[in-house]
Amino acid sequence: MGRKPTAKQRAFTEAVVGGETYSEAYRGVYATNTDNKKTVWREAHRVAKNPHVAPMIEAGVKSQQRELLRSLGKRREWIVGKLLQEAECGDNPSSRVRSLELLAKASGLFDHNEERVDNTTESDLLDMLQKRLVGIIPQPIEIEKIDEIEEDDPAPP
């Protein structure tokens, strides 16, 4: 069928996928006898549009994008896990409350486009929070009403 890409074409592709501009990649891979930027630019784009090189560049960029999305998903999962751990096991009550607040914000609990209902009970709010937590974490924590404040906890503001 067609010939395989050359070693220089593969090196050019790796440089471009690695973040270099076409011109930088061209200068790094190919021996140029000119300092003329326009000539280097033209030749670099000619290599980039080559039928052997263009698909490799496209595949490399798509692979990087998939990896970035995967790592962002893992990062979000890690952050939510740490917030859950702090909300459930943290030593500092204000830190636990702040973790719950951040989890609630992540779940959209504090979106302003919702209609506020003044006659909502505490149990209704707890149910609503539980339902929203299901949307952001696989196994939401149990939320229950605290009837009294422990002696060690600071007084509420």
What is the pLDDT, as a whole number, of residue 1? Answer: 46
pTM: 0.48
Sequence ranges of the domains in the chain: 7-66, 73-136
- The listed range with the strongest mean pLDDT (13-17, 123-127, 132-136) is 13-17
Q: Looking at residues 109-129, what average pLDDT do you find?
A: 71
- Identify the band that residue 147 occupies on the pLDDT scale cut at 50, 70 and 90: low
State the Cα–Cα distance between residues 83 and 68, nearest whole angstrom: 22
- Identify the band that residue 48 occupies on the pLDDT scale cut at 50, 70 and 90: very high
Q: How far is residue 155 from each of residues 47, 54, 144, 149, 152, measured CA to CA in Å?
A: 70, 65, 19, 8, 9
**pLDDT greater than 60 at residue 55:** yes
